[in-house]
Structures are given as C-alpha cells and as structure tokens.
Chains A and B, each alone.
Chain A
Amino acid sequence: MSEFDSAAALSKSPPKSLAAFLAAGAERARLWRPEELSAIFRHQMSSPILVDLGGFDPATASRLKVLGEAQSLLLKSFSDLFHHPVPPLELLSLTKDFAKANMDHPESSLPEEVAAVLYYASIATALVRLNARISQLKDAELQRGLLWAKDQPWVDEQTKEIFVQALKKILPDAPAKGSPQ
C-alpha cells in the first residue's frame, strides 16, 4: 500500500512547492545534492567494475571480465583497480573512457564531479603504477585536473595520495599544492 497520499500533499502545496516540484522533475535537473558527493564517490569506488563498464559492447564487456580476473588479480571494484600495485592498463583506459563519457554527457547518470575524479584517478594510477600515459592531456592541463581532484574534500585520503604521486611524476620539482584557477 502506498505511504503517500498525493492528493492530500498537493492540495496543501503552495505555488512555490508546485514550481519546485515541476522543476526538480525535469530530466535536466541535477539528480544529487553537492553534500551527497562523498557518499556517492564511496559508492562508486566500491562498485563492481563490471556493472558500470559492462555497458560497453559485448566484446569489450567480455574482455573486461578477463582483465578483471587476470592473473588472479580479482579486481572487483574501482577501488581495487586504483589501489592495485600493477593494475591492467587496458582496464584503466576503459575506466577513463567511461568517466570521460559521463563528464561530457549533459544527462550523465554520474555527477560530473565524481566522473571527473574517476577520470583523473585512471590517468594518475596508470602514471604512478605503470609509468604510462593514457591521456593526451598536456602536463599543464593534467596538473590542473590532478590538483583539482586532490583538493576535493569528499575524496578519500588513499585516492588523494595517488593524485599527489602523479603530480610528482609529471612535475617533479613542483609542490603538489593549490587549486586550479
């Protein structure tokens, strides 16, 4: 049985609430509140990789399964991937593509900030763990992005550490502080 009596709620609602409800109901409206980013990011990091990346074509999805289980690595979550000592490069690259697609899509199902941190985490992990560049970004652009990701208050310390190490890799002499303009 429904816990909600829509007629009763609507009969009391002032125009302001009705306007807010119609605005929030629009698809383009933001789905999540900024104060929820921390919980959403934690959820993202603990999510099974195959759930999100499984949306690629069947061949890629099958390849993902193989990669995730390769060499008994058993990479189940994004957190496992970013914090593994030798993560598969291809998996990092696919994660970067998934994040990028979400960053660029106006109706993305991921908050743009979470997608951006996922994007930079993929690049940073490849750089730090495998000494590989999986992005075409120039050093200055990458530095801006890594600094921004590192400064997000809702990002966990372990992931922030990857950003710090990546910053040292691309600019060994630059202090890993500050925010992008």
Chain B
Amino acid sequence: MSSEPPASSIFPRTDWAGLGKAADADEARLDGLIRLYWAPLRIFLVATFPSLKDQAEVLLQEFAEDKILKEGWLRRADRSRGKFRDFLKTSLRHFVLDRLNRAEVRHAPVSLDELEQELPGPPGPSEEFDLTWIRAVLTETLRRMEADCRDPAEDQPRRSFIWEMFRIRLIDPVLNDSPQTPYEELIERFSLKSPTDASNMLLSGKRMFKAHLAKVIKEYAEQDAATAAEIKALEDFVSHLAKRS
C-alpha cells in the first residue's frame, strides 16, 4: 500500500449544517444514503477489522440503527472539521471498537468526545473506502440516468436513444473494454440525420450524466459549491490512483 497520505483528505468539507437539518427532518433520506453507500462502509469495516468479516453485515446494520439513524447523531459531530465520509468512517470505527470493548476483547471504552475526533486511520482502508464510494456514486448516477432516459412520460424514443448512445460510446468501451461501434452503425441504429444530430445526441447524454452526478453528490455534499468541489475531487482522486497503478 502507498505511503502517501490517505486520499480521502483531498475531499471537500461537507455542509454539516445542512446534514444536521436533514437528520432531524428527513430520516428516510439519511436511511437512503446509508443504503447507497453500504458497500464502501462494509469494505472499510472489513479492511479495518479483518477478523470481523463474518459479522460485517450485522455490525453495519446495528451501526445504522444505533448510531446513524439515532436522532442527533450528526449534531454530535464537530462541524469544524472533517467531511461526511470521514465522519462516517470515524463513527463506524469507534462503534466497532466500542462493541469489541463491550465484549471485553480489547480497547478502552470510547467516549462521545472521542467520537468527535477525526481519527487518521490507516491509508489502505480509507483509500479503498473512497474508491468504493466513487463506484457507488457512479453506479447510482448511471442507474438514475438510465431510468430518466427510459421514462415513458418523456420524449421517446429519442430519450432512450440518448442513453443507448451514451452507453455504446462511453460506458461500454471504457468500463467494459467493448470495441467501438462503427459510426455507420450509429446512423442506422438511431436514425441520425447528420453528424450534428449525432453529436447533439451524445452531448445530451454527457449533460444528463453530469446533471445526475451532481444530484447524487449533492445529496451528501449539500451545497452547490461543495458538490462542484466534490466532483473535481472524485476526478482528481481516481486520476491520482490511475497514475500510480
């Protein structure tokens, strides 16, 4: 594993005030966020406590019920430091340590004050957590984009074509290593009238992707400025990892 600082440190700060309000007002929304980012939390838990692999699901369930969904959990966080994801990691780590302590395995009890501390954590699990987080963000973005494009209430089949074009041109070749579909086939498949028509369809797909990505991120980053910074941070993070690999 790299000796560089945890990559999570490049992520922007979260709007705690907004999240605090959300915790009070909208438990269902918070519950949705937990479900969405279950995979990165699980990876972080298993990487940090490998011996608890078999109990990971149960622990996460308890963590969600006992901590995250408990009223005021977010308000206890020190809003002057950290980000939503870092706070999640720290809270989870403390939660598990507390459970282990209760089981009299090791570690002293963890106080609420300590819960508010930003634990540095080993770079490995943290980096793996952030990478899985990005995958979860992108998966949700593409899921919503596809649903949006296939919405029968919208302009069909044009909108479905936008999704298909985006998938054929960007998703499949880049993420699935599929060969590029010849341009002539695109003309036929989407009844394209001109190259401008083709480009506009592809550009529409990119714009929809961008809009959905911003929406998914805004659900935890809250403010527009933080969302924009988070998108940039996601790009920088994966590009940093890509250069290293």
Contact = CB atoms under 8 A, between A and B. Distances in A.
A15 B242 contact: yes
Nearest to A1: B150
Contact of B196 (A7, A29, A36, A51): A51
Q: Report the interface size class on chain B.
A: 35 or more
B202 A43 contact: no
Most buried by B among A7, A13, A15: A15
Interface residues of A, number: 42
Given A13-B135, A15-B242, A51 B197 contact: yes
A99 to B, nearest CB: 11
B17 to A, nearest CB: 29
A155 interface: no
Given A7-B139, A110-B199, A43 B207 contact: no
B176 A22 contact: no
A108 to B, nearest CB: 8
B28 interface: no
Interface string A95-111: 00000000000011111
Nearest to B202: A31
A18 B146 contact: no
A14 B146 CA distance: 22
Interface string B90-113: 000000000000000000000000
Given A20-B174, A27-B210, A10 B238 contact: no
A11 interface: yes
A33 interface: yes
A111 B242 CA distance: 29
B182 A43 contact: no
B235 A19 contact: yes
A31 B199 contact: yes
B235 A43 contact: no
Interface stretch (B19-27, B66-74, B187-195): B187-195
Given A16-B242, A17-B175, A39-B183, A52 B138 contact: no
Nearest to B231: A22
Contacts of B154: none
B46 to A, nearest CB: 15
A174 interface: no
Contact of B195 (A4, A25, A26, A43): A43
Given A10-B139, A40-B183, 8 more contacts: A15-B238, A21-B138, A21-B174, A39-B184, A43-B194, A48-B193, A51-B194, A52-B196
25 contacts: A6-B138, A10-B142, A11-B135, A17-B175, A19-B242, A20-B242, A21-B174, A21-B175, A22-B234, A22-B238, A23-B239, A24-B170, A24-B174, A25-B210, A27-B210, A31-B199, A32-B183, A32-B199, A33-B180, A43-B183, A43-B187, A47-B193, A51-B193, A51-B194, A111-B195
